[in-house]
Structure 1
Amino acid sequence: MGGSTTERGGLGRSVARHGGRLFGFGLSVLLLAVASLLLIPAIIVSGGQTAWGSIAVGQSIGAVGAVLVYFGWGHTGPARIARVDRAEGRREFAESVKTRIVLMAPVGAAASVVAALVAPDHPWLAVAGCLSASAIGLTSDWYFVGRRQPYAYLIVETLPRVAGTLAGVLLLNVGAPVIVGPLCVLAGMAVAAVASAAVVLLPRRDERLPLRPIGLILRTQRHGVASGIGSAVYATAPLVLVTVVAPGIQPVYALLDKLQRQLSVALGPVVAIVQGYVPRTDPRETVRRARTALLGGAVFCAVLFVGVLVVGPMLLRWLGAGEVQPPFGAVIVMSAYVAINVWESFLARGVLASYDQLAAVARGTLVGSVVGLPLVVAGALVAGVVGALGGLVIGLIARTVYEGVYVWRHGRKVRGTADREGERR
């Protein structure tokens, strides 16, 4: 009886601890998502549909730049930080800061040129949107996830970013030029990056942190960034392709794209919980936890699909400020994309990263791109917004199936090894 009571007490404390972390990270993501969504109607009212479309294209291209700046720490960082002591964690963080500062200038410049070329009607708006999105690659969220410090992240990074975005909303509502909106987002991210580095590194500034050469760091992170770039390109390329081949549907597609991105980002804490739950030193325990996470995740994503389908039309009416309204068929397909995309994140970032199989994630992303992107173009030309989104979903399904095969193979391999060891004993 006493042992049972102790176990129940331990379970209760574990649930409360995980619940508190989920709430902390969820609060950050909720604040960031709400602030970002508030900016959309302010931009549309201030600059019109064309200006909004140019900023949205720039942000999409900047999202790829952000992945290049981030350079895989979102995939590899949380598990790595969770496994090392604080001194080694600070060294990893310092290497990340050093590397990403070096990457930011050339990546931001190159992405800005592409954005200006893709959106020639409002090139400076596209560049501002691009830089505001690229700078997100300087985030330190991966470190705070690995350290399980959601409230430190809330204070030092989330609040400055939210303040910058809300400042943009306020300034646009009182008549500031539309370019001020994305520039305020950029300023908030810059303040957040400086604050995070100060909080992590300055308290131990006397501690010697021997840092590896940048070339070696880049090689170490190559699989993480390869899968990240592939994901970002697959998420970004459809809006660019739609802008080129079917510009008439671009504002509507951009609104749907923005909403699904914000919803996916808002669910980041759930993915972060899986990233911390699955990896263990015992491979058999890791496989068991991966199976539990994927089965529970499937139920969660089915509920998510229904939820997005219900609230999506209302959100889109508000975000479009009465000027942009997607058809309900597009909302159905977008809801499916959000749900499948979250489950694929469980698969790739929670399970395959724990299996050290990020190369499989990169290949899966390539498969999804090869299948999906041509279908986006064909769908946009034949069936408009619904067709373009349908092609995107088909590519995502192809990617998920490919990655699922690797998960199944790895689990079978681990179980086979355990069985042979048991027979030898």
Structure 2
Amino acid sequence: MIRRIAAFAGLPLLASLASFILLPIIARVGGTPAWNSLAVGQAVGSIAAIVIALGWPLTGPSAVASAREERVRRRHYAVSFVTRSFMFICAVPLMALALMFTSGAGQFWIAFLMASAQAAAGLTPAWYCIATGHAGRIAKYDVIPRMVATLGVIPLLFATGEIYLYPLALLVLGLAGTLWFNKDHSNRQDYRGLTPGAVLKEIWRLRSGAGITVAAGAYASTPILVVQFAASAAGLAAFVSAEKFYRIGQLATAALGNSLQGWVSEFGTDHWHRRKFSLMALAGLGLAGWLMLALLGPWASGLLFGSERAADFLTCFWFGLSFLLVCVTTSTGAHWLVPAKRMRTVFASTIAGAVVGLPAMVILAHLMGGQGGALGLAIGEVAVTVIQLRAILGLLRDKASDEKVEGVAS
């Protein structure tokens, strides 16, 4: 288990550390306008990536991990790639249109390329590698291309001062890694019968998982867009600095959650014991992240991004609380409720978080600026967590009742 976590969580973290190294360079070379434009593009692209993914990272690993035949597993991936590619093609012009009308994205091409690079993450084969237990393939086809794009562009940024080179390299090498994986690990037979009509039917069939992830991801990606309209450029820049640490922490959450997801759902295992382990592990990560973000975030953001973009304590504190709650619901949703076929509960909790959190972000950001936006995000995550924990208590009560009945019968 330790080796599995180290492989699946450690590799994506290496890529996140590479991007973290680049952030101070972007802040100083591009200045506040490029900093804000990249953040807006990343927010729009993050929403698009979640739509493009169609819920496969949520529902796919358990389906693939529980399949016994390799042929069935490969078919799952083929369907996922074709459906996600269709969504990516549709998303690109919509992102361009959205960024044209988004204030604050003064440098359109920087924002658009960043949005496209972020959206292309919805095509990554990482979820399939997680389900099949091949951490090395994540490194080869996903992590290494992104690290090369991130680190390789640094001398070009210093030499030219052209910030657009970073998202362009990220987009090109990210797509190249995905196509490389398809060449090595799929064939034409896997894609047989995937006509346009069949693809549209598959997309409709995926609506439940896609709805959950879209609702959650759209809500999680909106703080920057909300605060953008309620805060000054300097206030947005400081908020973005805190949000960058939050996003990097989210990579650790996703990495740990992904490393456990296929393991929790493996055929013929003690699922209950593994689910409890995942909840404790992710809650521990969340507590550590909250503490680090609240105590070190203001100092580290000023040191790395410049004093004019330094985050304040309360913004970091509320982002840290959101980080803890997201860690908890990563386990309760993907590891508990989805395998238990409680998709409606996960969807309802996600919608509740958006219904509560979005108005809270709008109102509090207007009243308090960046601090209010972070607090509104945390309020929404509280709603999600409460609903999912109540559902899990119900699952545990049902399990205890079933065991009692079995004991009486025996």
Q: Same fold (TM over 0.5)?
A: yes
Residue 86 of structure 1 corresponds to 70
For 1:319 and 1:107, how far apart are their aligned partners in 2? 33
Residue 367 of structure 1 corresponds to 352
For 1:319 and 1:186, how far apart are their aligned partners in 2? 25
CA contact (8 A) 2:231 2:370 kept: no
CA contact (8 A) 2:66 2:265 kept: no
Residue 2 of structure 2 corresponds to 19
Task: Please point out which of 124, 127, 130 is paired with 2:112.
Answer: 127
For the pair 1:62 / 2:75, whether they are aligned, the reply is no
CA contact (8 A) 2:28 2:305 kept: no
Of 83-92 and 208-217, deviating more is 208-217
CA contact (8 A) 2:66 2:267 kept: no
Superposition deviation, residue 340 in structure 1: 1.7
Give the partner amino acid of 2:331.
F
Residue 116 of structure 1 corresponds to 100
Superposition deviation, residue 209 in structure 1: 5.3
Task: Please point out which of 150, 173, 181 is paired with 2:158.
Answer: 173
- Say if 1:207 and 1:304 are closer, same or farther in 2 by CA, change over 3 A: closer
Residue 380 of structure 1 corresponds to 365
Deviation per residue, 1:197-253 (Å, 9 max, x gap):
122215xx5678555821232133212111111111111122111111223421111
CA contact (8 A) 1:347 1:403 kept: yes
Residue 158 of structure 1 corresponds to 143
Give the partner amino acid of 1:116.
M
Superposition deviation, residue 300 in structure 1: 3.9
Give the partner amino acid of 2:2.
G
Residue 13 of structure 1 corresponds to none
Task: Please point out which of 236, 241, 245 is paired with 1:255.
Answer: 241
For 1:266 and 1:281, how far apart are their aligned partners in 2? 26
Q: What is the CA RMSD across the aligned residues, in angstroms? A: 2.2
Residue 265 of structure 1 corresponds to 251
Residue 171 of structure 2 corresponds to 186
Residue 207 of structure 2 corresponds to 222
Give the partner amino acid of 2:151.
L
For 1:296 and 1:23, how far apart are their aligned partners in 2? 13
For 1:200 and 1:379, how far apart are their aligned partners in 2? 49
Give the partner amino acid of 1:216.
K
- Say if 1:277 and 1:208 are closer, same or farther in 2 by CA, change over 3 A: closer
CA contact (8 A) 1:72 1:226 kept: yes
Residue 301 of structure 1 corresponds to 286
State the secondary structure of the residue aligned to 1:267: helix
For 1:37 and 1:268, how far apart are their aligned partners in 2? 17
State the secondary structure of the residue aligned to 2:391: helix
Residue 200 of structure 1 corresponds to 185
For the pair 1:34 / 2:17, whether they are aligned, the reply is yes
- Say if 1:297 and 1:156 are closer, same or farther in 2 by CA, change over 3 A: closer
Matched residues, number: 405
Residue 14 of structure 1 corresponds to none
Structure 2 matches for 1:306-325, cutoff 5 A?
306-325=291-310
CA contact (8 A) 1:117 1:123 kept: no
For 1:311 and 1:322, how far apart are their aligned partners in 2? 14
- Say if 1:116 and 1:31 are closer, same or farther in 2 by CA, change over 3 A: farther
State the secondary structure of the residue aligned to 2:160: coil
CA contact (8 A) 1:51 1:125 kept: yes
Deviation per residue, 1:148-188 (Å, 9 max, x gap):
11112111221111111223333112124221121111112
For 1:382 and 1:162, how far apart are their aligned partners in 2? 40
For 1:208 and 1:335, how far apart are their aligned partners in 2? 43
Q: Give the ranges of 4+ consecutive aligned residues of structure 1 lying more than 4 Å apart after TM superposition.
A: 205-212, 280-283
Task: Please point out which of 386, 398, 406 is paired with 1:401.
Answer: 386
Residue 55 of structure 2 corresponds to 72
CA contact (8 A) 1:25 1:154 kept: no
Superposition deviation, residue 393 in structure 1: 0.4
CA contact (8 A) 2:356 2:383 kept: yes
Structure 2: which 5+ runs fail to align? none
Superposition deviation, residue 75 in structure 1: 0.1
Give the partner amino acid of 1:188.
L
Residue 44 of structure 1 corresponds to 27
For 2:312 and 2:189, how far apart are their aligned partners in 1? 59
State the secondary structure of the residue aligned to 1:356: coil
Structure 1: which 5+ runs fail to align? 1-17
Of 308-317 and 225-234, deviating more is 308-317
For 2:387 and 2:246, how far apart are their aligned partners in 1? 23
For 2:266 and 2:146, how far apart are their aligned partners in 1? 33
Superposition deviation, residue 288 in structure 1: 4.3
CA contact (8 A) 2:297 2:311 kept: no
- Say if 1:292 and 1:167 are closer, same or farther in 2 by CA, change over 3 A: closer
- Say if 1:78 and 1:128 are closer, same or farther in 2 by CA, change over 3 A: same
State the secondary structure of the residue aligned to 2:222: helix
CA contact (8 A) 2:241 2:301 kept: yes
Residue 278 of structure 1 corresponds to 264
